[in-house]
Structure 1
Amino acid sequence: MKHKPTLSPDEPLYHACHAKPMTRRDFIAQGFMAGVGTVLSGSALSLFANPRKAHAALSSDLESLKNSCGIATQGAGKIPFIVFDLAGGANISGSNVLVGGQGGQQDFLSTAGYSKLGLPGDMIPSIANPDTGLSDYINTELGLAFHSDSAFLRGIQDKLSVTNRANINGAVIPARSENDTGNNPHNPMYGVNKAGSDGSLLTLIGSRNTDSGGNSMSPSSMIDSAKRPTKIDRPSDVTGLVDTGDLIGLLSQQDSVTVMESIQRISAMKLGKVNTQITTDDVLKDLVNCGYVKSADIADRFGDPSTLNPELDPDIVGDNGIFTQEEFDNDSEFQKTASTMKLVINGFAGAGTITMGGFDYHTGNRATGETRDLRAGRCMGACLEYAARVGVPLMMYVCSDGSVASNGMIDDSLDGRGKGVWTGDNSSTASSFFLVYNPGGTPQLIGATPDAQAQHQQIGYMRSDASVETASSPAANNVNLLAETVILNYMALHGEQGNFASLFPTHGLGNSALMDSLTAFEPIVSGTYS
């Protein structure tokens, strides 16, 4: 075949089979507009081995007032949660994360089915190496089985150290979603917040100015307008997230905090001698008093603007960082990812969505999709590696609006890697997946036998022709229930899945026995952690 040129990861996609892009969602899906980043971040927490054990070093008398004034520390003690929303209909099944029949990921599909998923006959996972008896095309290094040449996997491996890979496991959910539309309610962040996730600065963040914070919608029944995700566009906005006033700059940070503490004490002493003649006297005094306490706390935690800047975190950028300075300077997706993971993993936001655009990549070749998947994998790997460096768990969910399929034609260019050309959209080949990092050890699948565990690692299944079996799980043909399934699994990591029905009384996941079958892992934390 005559190869079509490989498009760079940031180059827009032109499709003769699509109408001209008209909406913001269309522009992002086809890469005409970047999925602008949540560039919130933060923390002086790099000074601590575990940021959620870090407390502001206020004087003891003010420290004791923080709880009564409602001043949060780092997060709500829940597992950080990050969504990767790949706009346009990315390939997830088969060529990236393996999918199979009723027996799990390695209950292999037909050769024709794998061809539809972009894998030629000589690269399908069912082929055993005669020398080893094992497949050369299955990689279970992250617990969840990937195709060994998955671009997602190669990207994750590029950013995630070998040592930290042992503490990761995941699950895949074969589930249809409509192609090229933002109307798929994939985003579970509101439900995750309802389950207890929160941040000390912000509740939810997202890289788009939408109700979900991403490209895809959130289930309408879960949206809480008071918790709408906050969006910040560039790294320069990060240090402006918290205003500590003009005092810092005139004095050192330590001296500024001391001055604010003194102001609080003088104010409290004087207020104690005053009768405001207002019936809400005590309430008014508390508001004034807590205002000074909060000011001192903010100055103490955020007085140095550099503590909110991901670029100045040596674990993120630099010679020993996850990203090199050149990578960070030249790739807005890396800046977006670094900023979001900095904020969420350090507990300043409970959950965040990273939208990446340009995944409508049925461009008549394979190379364009491979390069975009590789960069997405690097962003995923960066989040997992940063969680490991900070020392906190992480649940990372990856979804896309629809999917693609191949007609079997091969792209044997360098970037095409001898795989099937993506020739069109196909919602029936879609899947979502999540990975969990646990600093305490490998997350353990539910099930007493390997066969039982395999059915919890793949929630639902595909037919042999690589189309989702829509009766295989509640999530398989209903994106609202897919989001509920992800929330159920988030709660299960805390051992709180028994509370799901009371928190979401109109849920559609069935009785407790069915919900147990939709749950992948044993708890990795107990309720909350510190």
Structure 2
Amino acid sequence: MAKRTKNLGPDEPLYHQDHPRPVSRRDFLRQGFVSGTGIVMGGSIFSLFSNPLAAQQALSSDLVNLAASMGNCSLGGLGGAGKIPFICFDLAGGANISGSNVLVGRNTQLDVLTTAGYSKMGLPGDMIPGGVEATPTATSNGDFTDTTFGLAFHSDSAFLRGILEKAGTRGPNINGAVIPARSDNDTGNNPHNPMYGIAAAGAVGGVVTLIGSRNSDSGGNSMSPANMINTEIRPTKVDRPSDVTGMVDTGNLTGILSDPNDVVAVMESVARISNSKLGWANTGLSGTINTGADAVIKDLMRCGYLKAADIADRFAGVNIDPSLDTDIVDPANPTQSIFTPTEFNGSGEFRKTASVMKMVIDGHAGAGTIAMGGYDYHTGDRSTGEVRDLRAGRCMGACLEYAARRGVPLMMYVSSDGSLASNGTIDNSVNGRGKGVWTGDNSSVAASFFLVYNPNGAIPALRQQIGFFRADGSVDTASSPAANNVNLLVETVILNYMALNGDRGLYSGLFSGISPALIDTMTAFDTLA
């Protein structure tokens, strides 16, 4: 009797006979035993186009002067450097990106590979780019390619289907590039996470510098390059709407006082009274009162009260809860919001995505990583991976759509630790879609990609593939500095972020991995118009 394969849901854990029992949190994440959460870094002046905080008044002048007199008590948040918001999807476990999702080629994306090469990437002979589609999709080019978003996807890509579902009308304002690049399979030791480098390139937020889905130095599944880590901005964990609202909690006063101005007035009075009492209080520390350690402790306390008043001033009466943003989820008009109430309430991945994208795109943070677990899906079928890729695509599309609704540019980067390959066996189930089953880890077919949204119009590309694949479907590791070095892959992403911001000329002053002679060939786009 033939063995029947059980199709796994998007949240079910993955059990692999060829893998050791999961031990670390990274093991549990990549195999889907725990879910990923979201990381965010620092903000953007672009968000002032729609940022309700822009109209808030400053604190009273006496408190502003008091903060200035202490020298190291900055109010008004972390400011904004005018940089493009940045969101990274960290798909833990080694997801498929090349071929079945984003097309790759021997020089450009559309320089076709061999039939065997595409088979390794999960595409059977009757679904190879350049062939004739019997029943093309509404957005397909009719040859198993789809360039709705500038970057060429396979027309049946699960990522693409998810993005189209959430941001299907935004194609003219989106473009992207793919980077063929090997990385180790199934390990968080790959330094894929670019957040610290994005911060070094100028991304700054109005509330926090860095928040993350995991309690790690990177905030995600993959590590950050060691030479970029700045412990002063180590991420705080965020994976749900309550984590977002908790960062700007103005306390119970907002429930007692209906007028936000009254809330601010109370907090200002608390700061003044506390400052007055601290002048004659004795901390009990050695030395003279109001000097040395006594003065330092009192200044820290004064600053704490001032910052509490500042938070009240900037956020009392302002709703930053993703679950109450009707662009994100609207029970009264469920077909008009990005997520329906059923989607939002039924999936932690959607709530996590909403939390991160609102923080980043609204300017409270400048860049964020959304770590998603369970992408080590070589389960001997195709359906498991297709369902998970589709949900990831919906999350990607949600970010692009929210940026469009806010009129804010966005760079969105997608990476995974390693990849996987097919042996050519076909899964003809409904969710398998007639594609090759995933049978094992294979880092030789790995790639990363990014998409860019520009509210001001089309984004001309210098190139849409940085490096290339061999005809047999393997990364040519000599095709670019990023192809066989994850640290340089991260620097390539940062270089392209800087180029979009008009800062490409500053790259060599901050980083040294990519030779100045190669910078042009490693850049996909010029400055956003």
TM-score (normalised: structure 1): 0.87
The counterpart of 1:301, out of the listed 302, 314, 317, is 314
- Per-residue deviation, 1:227: 1.1
By how many angstroms is 1:520 displaced?
A: 0.5
How has the CA–CA distance of structure 1 residues 278 and 381 changed in structure 2, closer, same or farther, with 3 Å as cutoff? same
Mapped partners of 2:395, 2:135: distance in 1:
35
Q: Would the aligned equivalents of 2:180 and 2:468 in 1 still touch at CA under 8 Å?
A: yes
1:190 aligned onto 2:196:
yes
The corresponding residue for 1:324 is 340
- 3-state secondary structure, aligned to 1:89: coil
Where 1:308 maps in the other structure, the secondary structure is coil
Deviation at 1:27, TM superposition (A): 1.0
Aligned to 2:458, which of 435, 442, 465? 442
| Matched letter for residue 164 of structure 2 | Q
Give the share of equivalent positions with the same residue, in percent. Answer: 64
**Pairing of 1:146-185 with structure 2 (within 5 A):** 146-162=153-169, 164-185=170-191
* Alignment deviations for residues 61-93 of structure 1 (CA, whole Å, 9 cap, x no partner): 579869966334564321111110101100000
Q: What's the counterpart of residue 353 of structure 1? A: 369
Q: 1:267 and 1:67 mapped to 2: Cα distance?
A: 13
Q: 1:369 to 1:134 in 2, by over 3 A?
A: closer
Partner of 1:476: helix, strand, or coil?
A: coil
C-alpha separation in 2, matches of 1:3 and 1:88: 25
Preserved CA contact (<8 Å) 1:78 1:197: yes
Of 468, 472, 480, which residue of structure 1 is paired with 2:479? 472
Residue of structure 1 in register with 2:501 after alignment? 494
Structure 2 unpaired stretches of 5+ = 280-288
Q: Is the 8 A contact 1:4 1:365 kept in 2?
A: yes
1:124 aligns with 2:131: no
Shift in Å at residue 26 of structure 1?
1.1
Hey, what's the Cα distance between the residues in 2 that align with 1:183 and 1:281?
A: 44
* Structure 1 partner of 2:284: none
Match of 2:514 in 1: 509
Q: Distance in 1 between matches of 2:309 and 2:380?
A: 59
Which runs of structure 2 are paired with 1:72-87 in the superposition (5 Å)? 72=76, 75-87=80-92
Structure-to-structure mapping, 1:20-169, within 5 angstroms: 20-37=21-38, 50-51=50-51, 54-58=54-58, 61=61, 70-72=74-76, 75-102=80-107, 104-128=108-132, 135-162=142-169, 164-169=170-175
Q: Give the distance between the partners of 1:249 and 1:134, measured in 2 at CA.
A: 55
**Aligned 1:192-271 pairs, distance under 5 A:** 192-252=198-258, 253-261=260-268
Q: 2: CA distance between counterparts of 1:79 and 1:483?
A: 17
1:313-370, Cα deviation, whole Å (9 max, x unpaired): 1111122321111111110111111111111111212221111111111111100000
- 1:421 is aligned to 437
Q: How many residues align?
A: 505
CA distance 1:66–1:121, shift in 2 (3 Å): farther
User: Residue type of the partner of 2:183?
Assistant: S
Cα distance in 1, alignment partners of residues 117 and 52 from structure 2: 46
Check whether the contact 2:88–2:412 (CA below 8 A) recurs between aligned residues.
yes
Residues 2 and 443 of structure 1, relative CA distance in 2, 3 Å threshold = farther
Q: Evaluate the alpha carbon distance shift between residue 116 and residue 250 of structure 1 in structure 2; reply closer, same or farther with a 3 A threshold.
A: same
Tell me, in whole angstroms, the C-alpha distance in 1 between the residues paired with 2:305 and 2:374.
Answer: 47
Secondary structure of the equivalent of 2:265? helix
Amino acid at match of 1:518: M
Q: 2:392 aligns with which of 347, 357, 376?
A: 376
Query: What residue identity is the alignment partner of 2:57?
Result: A
One-letter amino acid matched to 1:373: D
Q: Distance in 1 between matches of 2:132 and 2:239?
A: 48
Deviates more, 1:206-215 or 1:2-11: 2-11
1:171–1:187 CA distance, 2 compared to 1 (3 A): same
Quickly say closer, same or farther: Cα 1:129–1:324, change in 2 above 3 A. closer
* Paired residues of 1:38 and 1:234 also in contact (CA < 8 A): no
Query: Using the alignment, how far apart are the partners of 1:72 and 1:445 within structure 2?
Result: 37
Question: 1:129: Cα distance to partner?
Answer: 6.1
Change (3 A) 1:72 1:143: farther
Could you tell me which amino acid in structure 2 is paired with residue 143 of structure 1?
A: G
What's the CA shift string for 1:156-189, capped at 9, x where partnerless? 1111141x22111100000001111111111110
RMSD value, Cα: 3.3
Change over 3 Å in CA distance of 1:293–1:16 after alignment to 2: closer
CA drift of 1:207 comes to: 0.7
TM-superposed CA distance for 1:465, in Å, is 0.4
Query: Which amino acid in structure 2 is aligned with residue 32 of structure 1?
Result: F
Instruction: Pick from 402, 406, 411 the counterpart of residue 395 of structure 1.
Output: 411
> What stretches of structure 1 of length at least 5 have no aligned partner?
447-455, 526-530
Aligned with 2:246: secondary structure? coil
Matched, 1:338 2:318: no
CA 1:340–1:277 in 2, change beyond 3 Å: closer, same or farther?
closer
